[in-house]
Chain A
């Protein structure tokens, strides 16, 4: 069996937009107000009666070819053997170049610690055999986490049986967060309503 490589699969068809994952993430990782490691992007399209709401849970893609690692000047951002992209809080100088380089806007400067942080797939939970907090909290089991290289893992089975997509594949970052049933129009639409932006 090949080595451990974590991946996440989100079946967006199951997502009800309850934001439990965002709340669990905030709580688990002490993410301060104003910044997010994980959130659920939500959009609407069409006109009644032909209308729909769609969701896109968004977090770090823990890419296989991460531009943040390539561009970090102090090797504060690095990748574990299992693929999780980390930030060393003692090494980071807060130059924010990784934030500028990331095509997914999933990194932020901690407003008090003044270092860069991001989702690390709750490595501290994963290392003791638990699931990431977001996966654990999802009431509809839309989120699945596991070893990509184990053919019997849930993620491997989902990837083998479904049409999947990743965000911005053209950036050659090789994301390891896969979506089933994500609306391309919601992926492509960017920005936020004014209230959310403020």
Chain B
């Protein structure tokens, strides 16, 4: 809306892509991230990441079998999904997906088969074949956004890269959580602290790269044409700012960075001093403002200092890494939501 012209009558149709699409992008991202982590040991021979191999391939396969269900459920005519193959249109990015979503899970299964069988040579082969597939299966979703040129927030060449890097971020966070759970269930009754520490370090790098890409994207949007500026305003000050600035940037990137890099002694001191007021303020905030999407991660974050307090010194990195991972996963889910739903916020007519 602008000052000189007041619209008296107009038509706006319902936004075509809903939350199911955002969840689909989230799941393929987690799958691709998990797969690539699993190949660190079995594809590239980095021995200390061996425990990630089997966890990674199971996660990647399960997530990628589940992910397309969102897509088919979102169709107006779900029983016509097979039209995607005989009537394919080579210029549509959805067509890339039809084939990648078929080939990638098959490759995952073969890769998993050889890994569980203990055939290292074949595992390596299918792991290396799987890397471009995993990158493509998530990268193409970035093209789905970027090639829909009607929307300023989507129509950028950064989008596929942004999707890939955020996939790595969420994949590493998921891996930290799963490694922790598996560690507690194992004979040692405790996750391997060096593995968690190494994953935490990779996560820091991935978050920093992701933040840089988001920064470039928003800066260019702000400086570009009026539609782009409107898209930037929507996520910075408008209806989606709580998801973007609150959940994605603050609690999904900056707080995890702090948790993963700050010395444990400092975190503990911070916990003693600030945990009760932060927890209190959060409860008041969540109670007063019925904004669950923002409230939940903030509440989760406020428990971190309490957790750190109760843990013996030598195990301290674990709760910080776990808390950071939970926040990161919520942050990337918010990112998918902001891109898909927030991208369609501005009316086109």
Contact = CB atoms under 8 A, between A and B. Distances in A.
Interface of A: 35-36, 39-45, 53-54, 58, 67, 70-76, 91-97, 99-110, 113-116, 170-171, 183, 185-186, 188-193, 196-197
B2 interface: yes
14 contacts: A36-B11, A67-B149, A70-B91, A73-B92, A93-B75, A93-B80, A96-B16, A103-B348, A105-B348, A108-B13, A114-B76, A188-B2, A190-B348, A193-B7
Contacts of B14: 108-109
A35 B83 CA distance: 26
Interface string B61-102: 000000000010011110011011001110111110010000
Contact of A41 (B9, B83, B98, B144): B9
Contacts of A190: 1, 7, 10, 346-349
Given A41-B9, A104-B150, A108-B14, 9 more contacts: A40-B9, A43-B7, A58-B11, A71-B94, A73-B89, A92-B77, A100-B344, A171-B149, A188-B5
Contacts, number: 177
B8 A101 contact: no
A95 B82 CA distance: 12
B13 A105 contact: yes
B110 interface: no
A103 to B, nearest CB: 4
A51 to B, nearest CB: 10
Contact of A105 (B84, B98, B148, B349): B349
B16 A192 contact: no
A103 B150 CA distance: 4
Give the size range of B's interface with the partner: 35 or more
Contacts of A70: 89, 91-92, 147
Nearest to B145: A100
Given A94-B75, A107-B13, A114-B77, A192 B348 contact: no
Nearest to A103: B150
Given A44-B8, A171-B149, A190-B347, A96 B92 contact: no
B80 to A, nearest CB: 4
Which 7 A-B residue pairings sit nearest by Cβ, starting from the closest? A94-B76, A114-B76, A96-B16, A73-B94, A99-B16, A192-B10, A105-B349
